[in-house]
Amino acid sequence: MSPRFDHAVSAEIVQSGQSSLASLFSSSAQAHAQLDAIVEGDKVLSYQMVDEKSGQLAQLLLDQGIAQGDRVGILARNCTEYLLLELAAAKCGAIVAALNWRQSDRELSHCINLVAPKLILAQSEYLPTLKRLEIGAPPIIPLDAAFDDRLTGLAPLPAQPLADKGEAGLVILYTSGTTGMPKGALISHRAMIARAAVFVSDLNLPRGANFVAWAPLFHMASTDHSLATLLRGGTVFVVDGYQPERLMELIEQHTVGWFVLMPGMVGEFAEKCRAKGLKPKGIIACGAMADLVPRDEIAAATAALSTPYVNSFGATETGLPPATANFIAIGEAPERLPKRQSAFVELRLVDPQDRDVAPGEPGEVALRGPTLFSGYWRAEETNAHDFRNGWFHMGDVMRRNPDGTLEYVDRLKYMIKSGGENIYPAEVELVLNQNPAISEAVVVRCADAKWGEVPVAFVVGMVEQLTETAVVDACRGHLASYKLPKKIYFIEPEDLPRSTTGKIQRHELEKRL
């Protein structure tokens, strides 16, 4: 007879196995009380001070009528108060809606009305913006010189038990909206804690590694990794956007874990570092989104910063997964960018019927794992489609190499159907970008009476050395004839439409056609 094991799991046992991000941070604050937690210019807050101030802000939210699950918007550039609000919301169970100050009035109104915040915190410069938007009349607390006075005297609220435990929402980050209006991705306590673990695992970061939050805090690159750093005793250096001189100063004065570089600034920053003769104190890894950065700029950046480049592939919805565990060596300008699967994630490559594709064949990335978001806010139909069969479908196409690495193919939505053949723009762009006279190429679809759709290319480069015929001829022999661009448009780099995260907005280029 097989042995039988009976084990009744009590509520106390279940509770002891669960933590919120707030309770984990407070525990970190006890362990690192006098260490620097957040540094913004001359403002330095220890872990003990951040725990106290975030608790006071949590109490202020309660005094304003904020209950668990209520949304609190923030419209601000990078500042200490941004991180204090995220920790305060974690303590009282509210959800922070991280609003993008770069958006148009129309987009910003959409993002605010989508989540219906009961309160908005805003820097003074954005108060006129909020007044002219059609967003109802939520109370607004200015992040001005008097903000600290609002907190003075309030008893810090400790981390509260959450009704939904780790699945409670923590922050809403808005996707870039490659087509249509942005969507609000709900990130739970569970997901943010798991992202902190993957952050350490994928990038091999030592305990207490520091982080420079210069990219917008409404973006996962800064919010995810700032919070991860605060859970592990590191210092978050808050910088209001891309300030090369300040960034170089921090790099020379402090060791850094992951130094984020964004497309569009990599080459320029590398040149400034080279011209200065930068001597980094120590960086574990730099970079992000290598597929969107010219290869020579990657080589220049790693040489200037004396550290490898992170060959990342993640998303707002997933964190660093599915594939951010590979690096590009110092000084290397790679021809290929194979990804290595992240830790703590299940990954499948599937066909349109959700069947696993054969090794080496392109398939859509489908994920399961603790870093995943909790769906798009008020988007039931989209969630039903993207989370079908218990897996999150990213909309990205990859193929598995024999060594287990993953080769990025393209976004499924960008695929061009030409005469029954599938054309992935990234494949064509890879060939175009091998032309030394081309610094950047973007391939999009164009309607065609004969073939349905055909690929056309927008090209940035040394125009005096380029002709349409020469560019297409250089692709022959590297691409099937049906994949050759049918038209070349030469364009200035500043005329390429980009999202706030540096991604090319292909739908805007398609509109120009």
pLDDT tens digits, residue range 136-195?
Answer: 989 999 999 999 999 999 999 999 998 877 689 999 999 865 445 789 999 999 999 999
Report pLDDT digits (tens) over 350-385: 998 999 999 999 999 999 999 999 999 999 999 999
Element at 91 (helix H, strand E): helix 80-92
The dihedral region occupied by 98, where left means phi > 0, alpha psi between -120 and 50, and beta the remainder, is beta
Mean pLDDT, the chain, integer: 92
Cβ atoms of 340 and 326 closer than 8 Å: yes
* DSSP state at residue 62: H
Is 451 or 255 the better-scoring residue by pLDDT?
Answer: 255
Specify the amino acid at residue 9: V
Distance of alpha carbon 34 from its chain centroid, rounded?
Answer: 30
Mean pLDDT of 313-342: 95
Q: What letters, b where the CB count within 10 A reaches 16 and e where it falls short, cover 430-450?
A: bbbbebeebbbbbbbbbeeee
What is the structure's pLDDT at 180? 59
Integer Cα distance of 195 and 172 in angstroms? 15
What is the structure's pLDDT at 5? 60
Share of the chain above pLDDT 70, in %: 96
Integer Cα distance of 489 and 459 in angstroms? 6
Mean pLDDT of 398-415: 88
What is the structure's pLDDT at 2? 55
Integer Cα distance of 75 and 93 in angstroms? 20
Query: What pTM, to 2 d.p., does this model score?
Result: 0.84
Integer Cα distance of 425 and 427 in angstroms? 5
Name all domains of the chain by residue range, CATH numbers in brackets: 20-241 (3.40.50.12780), 415-512 (3.30.300.30)
Report pLDDT digits (tens) over 265-299: 899 999 999 999 999 999 999 999 888 788 999 99
Q: In what order do the strands lie in the sheet with 363-368?
A: 346-350, 363-368, 392-400, 406-411
Mean pLDDT of 57-83: 98
Distance of alpha carbon 181 from its chain centroid, rounded?
Answer: 18
For the record, the structure tokens of 186 come out as: 């709900």
* Polymer length of the chain: 513
